[in-house]
A = this chain, B = another copy of it.
Amino acid sequence: MSHNSFGHLFRITTWGESHGPAIGCVVDGCPSNIPITAEELQVFLDKRKPGQSRFTTQRREPDEVKILSGVFENEQGDLVTTGTPISLIIENTDQRSKDYGDIKDKYRPGHADYTYIEKYGIRDYRGGGRSSARETAMRVAAGGLARKVVPGMIVRGAMVQMGPHKINRDNWDWAEVNNNPFFAPDKEIVDVWADYLDGLRKSGSSIGAVVEVVADHVPVGLGAPIYAKLDQDIASAMMSINAVKGVEIGAGFGSAELTGEENADELRMGNSGVEFSSNHAGGVLGGISSGQPVVARFAVKPTSSILTPRKSIDRSGQNVEVSTKGRHDPCVGIRAVPVGEAMMALVLADHYLMHRGQQG
C-alpha cells in the first residue's frame, strides 16, 4: 500500500512540494538495458512547462530534470537503465512565496486547503504545497521512460473541448496538435479557443476542458481482470490528476444512449489479422486490451484560483473572502494534456510487464 506511488510492476513514487527545494520521482521496476537520457525526458517536460504561451501560468520554471541513479553506460557507451531504481529530480527555482502569504490561513474554495488541514492538522500552504499540480511534472518525466518500455507503442493526447467549445472530430489531425498552444487536433478551433480564453484570462476567470489520450500499437492481452483491469487502472490514473472530475473509455458516457446493436464492435478477419468495424470499446474488452487503439477522455474542472472574491472561512473558523492574485492557468486542461499522455504510458508499461510475467 502506498499513498504516493502508482503502478504495480512499473511503479513511480513521487515526492515534493510546490515551493520546497525540489520535487522528484523514483521509478522502480523498469527493465534494464533501455537507453535513456535526461534530454529525452526533457522533451516531454517542455510540453508541460509553464509560461509557454499567454494561455498558461507565467510562473517561469526551467523544469530541468536530472537522473540521479539507475542508469549506467553499457558496453557501447550508451546510457541505459540497469534495473535498479531511477531517481529523477527537478529543482524548484521560481518560488515567489510572497504571492501566497495571504492564503496561509484562508481556505480557497475548490482547493484542497480545507481538507488537508482537516486531515493532517498542518499543510505547506506555499503554492498549494503537495496538492499543487507541480507534482505532475514528475509524472511527465517518468512517463517519458514508460513510453520506451512497450515496443512500438505511441501515446498521444489532445484537448477536445474548452468550456462549451468542442472540436470538430472530422478535422482531427494529430499533426496539428503541436502547432498551437492548446494541443488542439482541429486547427479550426484554435482561434475560437484563443478568443474565448483571452476573455476569461483578462477577467481573471477560468474554464474547464476535456482531454483525449490515445495509445496506438498496444499489444493484445494487457490488463488483469478482475481488479487490475486495464481500463480500471486508466480510470485510476486519470482521476489522480489534479482537477480531473471524470474519466471515460471509448464511447464512455455516450454508451448510455446506445443500443446493443449500435455499440457492438464487430470482428472480421483482415489481411493482417483481426479487424474491428468500430471502437466503441476504446480498445478494452473485459479489462483486457484488444489490439485496437486504447482511447480515454477526462474532464478537467476550471481552476478555483480566480480574481473574483469568493466566500470562505479561515483556519480559526471565521467567515472571510478569498481571491487569488497569483499567476495561474486560465484553463488547466491545456497543461493536463502531456500529463494525461504520461499516465496512459505509465499504465500501459506497467500492464505490459505484468502480462509478460503472468502469461501461461
Contact = CB atoms under 8 A, between A and B. Distances in A.
Contacts of A114: 267, 274, 285, 290
Please classify how large the interface on chain A is, using the bins under 10, 10 to 19, 20 to 34, 35 or more: 35 or more
B20 A68 contact: yes
Copies of this chain assembled into the complex: 4
A175 interface: no
A32 B122 contact: yes
Interface string A76-106: 0000111111110000000000000000000
A3 B81 CA distance: 15
A83 to B, nearest CB: 4
A196 to B, nearest CB: 11
Interface string A1-26: 11111101101011111001111101
A69 B120 contact: no
A132 to B, nearest CB: 10
A78 to B, nearest CB: 10
Given A85-B15, A123-B82, A259-B302, A68 B235 contact: no
The 10 A-B pairs with the shortest beta carbon distances in the complex, nearest first, are: A112-B286, A357-B357, A32-B360, A246-B248, A206-B260, A115-B288, A235-B239, A31-B360, A236-B236, A208-B256
